Amino acid sequence: MKPQRILITGAAGGMGRLLRPRLARPGRVLRLLDIAPIDPGDDGAEIVRASVTDADAMEAACRDVDVLLHLGGLSTEHCWEQILEVNIHGSYVALDAARRAGVARAVLASSNHAIGYLRPEDGDIDAAAFPRPDTHYGVSKVALEALGSLYADRYGMGVVAVRIGSCFERPKDARMLRTWLSPDDGARLFEACFAAPAPGFRVVWGASDNTRHWVSLEPARALGYAPQDDSERFAAEIDAQGEPDPDGFLMSYLGGTWCGPDWNTAE
Ligand code: 15L
């Protein structure tokens, strides 16, 4: 039987490296693309050294691909020109190359920063809430979601945009106790996105089943996601760092300190 081929952009980045061993399996080929060097590994992965902004390279990389997992791009705030080129234009190039190559499914790494200015005090935030980006980076994630919606509606691609909370080995602060996506749950969530029949276009929240939480996991569960981790096992250690200021940026906004002056690159 023909193996399933998954193209992962941004494979040399933090999430790419966490996910690679978790998504590798028999009957599947991972095609790993990044502008930065990628460890050749021993899992039979195909390595492509290219930028997501290079249309020809992306078209070649999409050949024989079943699923595009688009993690590529700048993962923090940058000046507008860089965000525009790498995150917004790069996402267009990746999706359009996938369309031209007949890739049926695209799973997009959106971010909590697409809705960063929402206030968690209002209760469980709707995972697909209307955009409230907190940075240029957040705007690029809104654009990524809009592109995904266009490619689903206009070209019939199945597209899931995952508004990822904080995907690290462990949460680092009180906010991340609420936004943490364990790498194992990240892999579980992406597997659900790959396998869901006819998703059309969906926006889901990407987090573990954290006891302390701000955003609803229901849309992700509806796709088949069954999280198994909870940040609460790190709570004692993080609570020992001291009580965070309830009125500070960290705990007042979903996007945390990204909503504050330290992350302002507009000037
Ligand atoms: C993101 O979107 C970033 O890529 C990541 O570096 C984290 O900062 C995360 O959000 C977060 O908000 O914790």
Please give the C-alpha separations between residue 57 and each of 32, 115, 175, 193, in angstroms, as whole numbers. Answer: 13, 32, 39, 25
CB contact at 8 A, 137 and 120? no
Query: How far from 153 is each of 113, 141, 198, 213, 252, CA to CA, in Å?
Result: 24, 18, 12, 32, 35
- According to the model, what pLDDT value does residue 124 have? 85
Give the tens place of pLDDT for each residue, 110-154: 999 999 999 997 678 999 999 999 999 999 999 999 999 999 999
Q: Could you tell me the maximum CA-CA distance found in the chain, to the nearest angstrom?
A: 57
Q: What is the mean pLDDT of the chain?
A: 97
d(CA 103, CA 148): 13
Percent of the chain whose predicted confidence (pLDDT) is above 90: 96
> Hey, which of 164, 250, 251 would you mutate to test ligand 1's pocket, going by the most ligand atoms within 8 Å of its Cβ?
164
| Amino acid at site 97 | A
Confidence of residue 37 (pLDDT cuts 50, 70, 90): very high
Domain layout of the chain by residue ranges:
4-263
The tens digit of pLDDT for each residue in 212-248 reads 999 999 999 999 999 999 999 999 999 999 999 999 9
Look up the CATH superfamily of 4-263.
NAD(P)-binding Rossmann-like Domain (3.40.50.720)
Give the SS3 label for residue 144.
Answer: helix
Tell how far the Cα of 185 is from the centroid of ligand 1, in angstroms: 16
List the one residue out of 229, 131, 133 whose CA is nearest residue 176: 229
**Residue having the nearest C-alpha atom to atom 2 of ligand 1:** 111
Task: Tokens for 232, please give them.
Answer: 């609460």
- Residue 54 alpha carbon to ligand 1 centre in Å: 25
Q: How far is the CA of 166 from the centre of ligand 1 (A)?
A: 5
